[in-house]
Structure 1
Amino acid sequence: MNDRRELDGPDGSFRVFLVVVDDSDEMQKALRFASQRAKSTGGKVALLYVQEPTEFTHWLGVDKIMREEAREEGEALLQEHSELVERLSGGMPIIYIREGNVAEELFALIEEEPSISIVVLGASSDSEGTDPIISHLIGKGRGKMRIPFTIVPGSLSDDEIAAVT
Structure 2
Amino acid sequence: MRKFLVMLDDSRESLNAMRFAAMRASNSGGAVTVLAVIPPNEIQHGFGVAEVMRAEAYERIEAHFEVFAKWMRMRPKVEPELVIREGDPAEQLLAHLNDDPEVGIVAIGLNSDKSVQNPLLTRLLRDAATLPCPITLVPADISKERLEAIT
What is the TM-score normalised by the length of structure 2? 0.92
Query: Residue 38 of structure 2 aligns with which residue?
Result: 51
Shift of 1:70: 1.2
* Residue pair 2:43, 2:54 contacting (<8 A) in 1 also: no
Structure 2 unmatched ranges of 5 or more: none
1:109 aligns with 2:96: yes
Residue deviations 1:53-111, cap 9 Å, x none?
Answer: 23533x33222222211111111111111112212321211221111111111111111
* 2:134 paired with 1:142: no
Overall identity of the aligned pairs, in %: 35
Q: Does 1:155 align with 2:141?
A: yes
Q: Tell me the CA shift for residue 119 of structure 1.
A: 0.6
Give yes or no for the alignment of 1:33 onto 2:23. no
Greater shift in the superposed pair: 80-89 or 38-47: 80-89
Distance between the aligned counterparts of 1:55 and 1:44, measured in 2? 31
Alignment of 1:13-92 (within 5 A): 14-53=1-40, 54=42, 56-57=44-45, 59-92=46-79
Name the SS of the counterpart of 2:133 in structure 1: coil
Asked which structure has the greater CA Rg, the reply is 1
1:60 alignment partner, SS class:
coil
**CA distance in 1: counterparts of 2:72 and 2:140, whole angstroms:** 18
Instruction: Measure, in 2, the Cα distance between the counterparts of 1:39 and 1:16.
Output: 11
Cα displacement (A) at 1:115: 1.0
Q: Which has the higher contact order (CA 8 A, sep 6+)?
A: 2
Q: Provide structure 1 residue ranges, at least 5 long, that are not aligned to the other structure.
A: 1-13
Q: CA RMSD in A?
A: 1.4
Question: TM-score scaled to structure 1, two decimals?
Answer: 0.85
SS across alignment from 2:48: helix
Please, which of 102, 110, 116 is the counterpart of residue 123 of structure 1? 110
